[in-house]
Amino acid sequence: MDPAASPIAPARAVRLLHFSLTAGITLAGAVFIVLVRFQHRSLGISRDIGLILAGIGVGLVAVASTLARRRIPERASDQSPDTFWANADATGGAIALWALIEGAGLVGWVGYLLTGVTAAAVAAVIAIGALVVFRPSRLEGPKESP
């Protein structure tokens, strides 16, 4: 069988997806920081818009951390990570959680790009931190003891 045609393990696929989301939002933020801080390319929209978008971003992280996190089931002690992530409830819940957090980060970065308000960038950094906190290994729960 051709190794290129073999399916990827569910746990590895979820880790790759999570890494891609985290790296993407971090890279977008780095580009926006370069544009605003070093090239002074903020679009100069009202500071109030930046503060509103920062609040929306932090609110989305709060909603994701409290409500969306509850949708991810606990992994059974005898369940492997691949079996856990093959479960549609676990994968779907994690994707919903990460999408909300990613959206919060994007709202923050866009607020920063539009206005140059640091609070919007801080909201985006909080979202990146939440993505790191809710990484796949953390959602899987404790590893089974040998």
- 24 versus 8: the higher-pLDDT residue is 24
> What are the sequence ranges of the domains in the chain?
42-146
What lies within 8 Å, CB to CB, of 68 at 6+ separation is 93, 96, 97, 100
Over residues 88-126, the pLDDT tens digits come to: 999 999 999 999 999 999 999 999 999 999 999 999 999
- The pTM assigned to this predicted structure is 0.88
Q: What is the arithmetic mean of pLDDT over 19-43?
A: 91
Q: Cα–Cα–Cα angle for 59, 115, 113, nearest 5°?
A: 80
Q: What is the arithmetic mean of pLDDT over 49-69?
A: 94
Q: Where are the alpha helices (DSSP H) in the chain?
A: 10-33, 47-66, 81-86, 88-115, 118-133, 136-140
